Structure 1
Amino acid sequence: MNPTPATAEIPGYLAGTWKADPVHSQIAFSVRLLVIGKTRGRFAAHDITLITDEDPLRSSVTATIDLASIDTGNEKRDNHLRAADCLDVDKCPTMSYRSTGIRQSGDVWAVDGDLTLHGVTRQVPLTLKVKGFSSDQRGGQRAGFSATAEINRRDFGIDTGGVALSNKVSISLEIQAVLQR
């Protein structure tokens, strides 16, 4: 493979199909509460597939997140977030993301894609950092990625929380993926 300008900047870049290692990956969020603090949480169960193309700009990602796996460290709050007036996990058990394109501007990568949450689909770009590619202790290959995004919960029909809870929700992903053979 002759490296493209984009792959030349990513040491060890490998084309292939990758699955996120659930033990070494995290999907987290934070939302401002009462203007003075933040509530943080994560989704413990997810299925993420990344396809890295010979040309990184033709790569793609799909993700499905189990909304019932929400964990904020407070069982009462988690149960409220799962309820019908918030995430409504009985009716909408998952959130999904499907990339529609990848862009690069200097050192900054962006993944364009569609996020479906609470039965509503909106375009949500991710700011991406490629952490690298390397061999693991078992002879396999691993890749690391970080991504961030911000959504407005009301864009997805989630209006609970009143004025105490910010509309903006920050999302961060730390993904360690394993090359599939």
Structure 2
Amino acid sequence: MVASHAGEHPVPECGTYEIDPVASSVNFRTRSVFGLIPVRGSFRIGRGRIDVAGPAVKSTVEVRIGAATFDSGVRRRDEHVRSGDYLDVATHPEIAFVGEGVEVGPGGAVLKGELTVRGVTGPVDVTVDSVAVDGPRLTVLGRAVVDRYAFGVTAAKGMAGRRLTVRLDVRATRAPR
């Protein structure tokens, strides 16, 4: 296995890697009640793929997340977040992320992308913390900060956190040629 950290990433073989929704995770943390109470939770990836290009900076990512998979461990809160006040999962069942290229700088690699929540699309940068390549398997760890107001999710200003810190653990396997 080849692994990396802090700005230097091994380059996997070019091609398409199918994301394993069961082995991957999307975890978040935020604060509620005027920033006093920490809230942690997760979403589940429904499907996705990573297209590794040559050069790797031209690689792309497409991920679909089930909006109804929002889980903070508190049933009442989860149902409210899934409602029309927040995610409106009945009308917008998926959250989508499309990454279009990687910028590499002194602080490391950043996947530049667009997130769509509730039909509103906006830019989100994913900092790539590490990449591990093990034969046809690829593991990418990353993080992003999402401002829910930028996506029209503005209910309970002050009571619910504005920004979510998202941690990604994405596992993918190279598709057969």
TM-score w.r.t. the length of structure 1 is 0.86
> Partner of 1:127 in structure 2?
127
| Aligned match of 2:162 | 167
Offset at residue 107 of structure 1 (A): 5.8
| 1:112-148, Cα deviation, whole Å (9 max, x unpaired) | 111111111101111112321013xxxxx11110111
- 2:102 is aligned with 1:79: no
Q: Does structure 2 retain, via aligned residues, the 8 Å contact 1:115–1:121? A: yes
Match of 1:29 in 2: 28
1:65-104 to 2 correspondences below 5 Å: 65-104=65-104
Percent identical across equivalent pairs? 26
Aligned to 2:12: 13
* Amino acid aligned to 2:138: A
Q: Which runs of 5+ in 2 are unaligned?
A: 1-7
Instruction: Report the equivalent of 2:47.
Output: 47
Q: How many residues align?
A: 168
- Residue 143 of structure 1 corresponds to 138
8 Å Cα contact 2:145-2:166 kept in structure 1: yes
Q: Which residue type is aligned with residue 154 of structure 1?
A: Y
1:57-102 CA-partner distances (Å, limit 9, x unpaired)? 1111011111011111122111111111111001111111111221
- What TM-score, normalized to structure 2? 0.88
Q: Please give the secondary structure, in 2, of the residue aligned with 1:23.
A: coil
Give, in whole Å, the separation in 2 of the partners of 1:75 and 1:44: 16
Partner of 2:147 in structure 1? 152
SS of the residue 2:68 aligns to: helix
Q: CA RMSD in A?
A: 1.6
Q: For structure 1, which runs of at least 5 residues remain unmatched after alignment?
A: 1-8, 136-140
CA shift for structure 1 position 41: 1.1
C-alpha change, 1:107 and 1:150, in structure 2 (3 Å) is closer
Q: Secondary structure at the match of 1:89?
A: coil
Question: 5 Å matches for 1:109-120?
Answer: 109-120=109-120
Q: Is contact 2:25-2:45 (8 Å) kept?
A: no
How many Å separate the matches in 1 of 2:160 and 2:70? 17
Q: Which residue of 1 aligns with 2:5?
A: none
- Work out which of the two has the higher radius of gyration on C-alpha atoms and give 1 or 2: 1
SS at match of 2:162: strand
Q: Distance in 2 between matches of 1:17 and 1:151?
A: 27
